[in-house]
A and B are shown apart, each in its own frame.
Chain A
Amino acid sequence: MALLVYGVVARHDDKSLDSAVKKGQLPTAPGASVALPTLDGSSRQTLAAWRGKVVVLNFWASWCGPCEQEAPVLERAQRQLSSTGGTVLGVTYKDDADASRDFMRKHKLSYPSLRDDRLDLAPKYGTTALPETFVLDKRGRIVALSRGEVDERFLTRAIDRAQKA
């Protein structure tokens, strides 16, 4: 019985970031120093490398239906951000790399993506379902988050807040 209770408690979802963002506390984005492989596997990069820029951190996978729906919205955000030095940063969540690359090509996505096959980063954001998006200001603080598919309105507002923060 004790083991069962432990198993249930140990698997609870961490949504502490949600309440902090809701209170306007601008929590620091976790896992900034976690180095993840790029989609082509040629190198590893950390979130910290984008410090000083607005970052839209998006967890996605090619097998996720809603990720497909929001991909064009994210690409438009990337075009808007790239003119000001910001970026959308995709992080694939347990996804076959070939399938991820096919997805990027199919949707003509120009923003970079890293691979989180072993879930080194996603759990730090309490991410257990896809898609999820976190908007970070230039100081690496989370100004807005969306657990589920994002729309244009959410992203425009969140990016605006991140640029002003």
Chain B
Amino acid sequence: MRRAVLAVLALLALLAPAAVAAQPKVSFNDIEDEVMCDTCNVPLNVAESDRADQERAVIRKLIAQGLTKQQIKDRLAAQYGPGILATPQDSGFSLAVWWVPVAVVVALLALIALLLPRWRRARAPDGEERQPGPELSSTDAQRLERDLARYDV
């Protein structure tokens, strides 16, 4: 029993550094598209300006210091304000990014709910089922049978 416990402890001791090493390191490309060039108002990954170059240098410096992606974003937001992050803010005008799509979907559903019964009524007046066409005369039925027999494969 003691041997088994020791073996488990030894295994855990071996796995612990591996687990720490397995933590994903942030890559520059991973964070660049989540940060804005705060003087040109475009995402950093498409920005071309001296300020954008400075922001890139700052991010590389923070990555070199071993900070995680979230820590870097927090650091930038604390320094330059939440506007430096490419994700919309949850206050003020930026809220429109969230509520406008929801409002559009609700409006579309309401429109469908309103118009669908009308379309159905228009397709089937007075609630009647669609009637089949007129029945064939015996002459026409025989001719149809002959024609079909000719094309039988």
Q: Which residues of A contact B (CB under 8 A)?
A: 3, 6-7, 10, 61-65, 93-96, 99, 117-119
Contacts and interface: CB of A to CB of B under 8 A. Distances in A.
Contacts of A99: 54
Interface string B73-89: 00000011100000000
Contact of A62 (B54, B79, B93): B54
B48 interface: no
Contacts of B53: 63
A121 to B, nearest CB: 13
Contacts of B58: 96
A94 B80 contact: yes
A94 B39 contact: yes
B59 to A, nearest CB: 11
B38 interface: yes
8 contacts: A3-B96, A10-B93, A63-B49, A63-B54, A93-B39, A94-B39, A94-B80, A117-B80
Nearest to B58: A96
B44 to A, nearest CB: 13
B80 A118 contact: yes
Interface of B: 38-39, 49-51, 53-54, 57-58, 79-81, 93, 96, 100
Given A7-B93, A94-B80, 7 more contacts: A3-B96, A62-B54, A63-B53, A94-B39, A96-B57, A96-B58, A117-B80
Contacts of A117: 79-81
B93 A94 contact: no
Residue among B54, B57, B58, B100 having the largest count of chain A Cβ atoms under 10 Å: B54
A119 B82 CA distance: 12
A118 B50 contact: no
A8 B80 CA distance: 23
Contact of B50 (A10, A65, A119): A65
A21 B79 CA distance: 33
Contact of B51 (A10, A94, A118, A119): A94
Contacts of B49: 63
Nearest to A7: B93
Closest 5 CB pairs of A and B: A63-B50, A118-B81, A63-B54, A63-B51, A117-B80
Contacts of B50: 63-65
B93 A6 contact: yes
B88 to A, nearest CB: 13
A63 to B, nearest CB: 4
Given A3-B96, A6-B93, A61 B80 contact: no
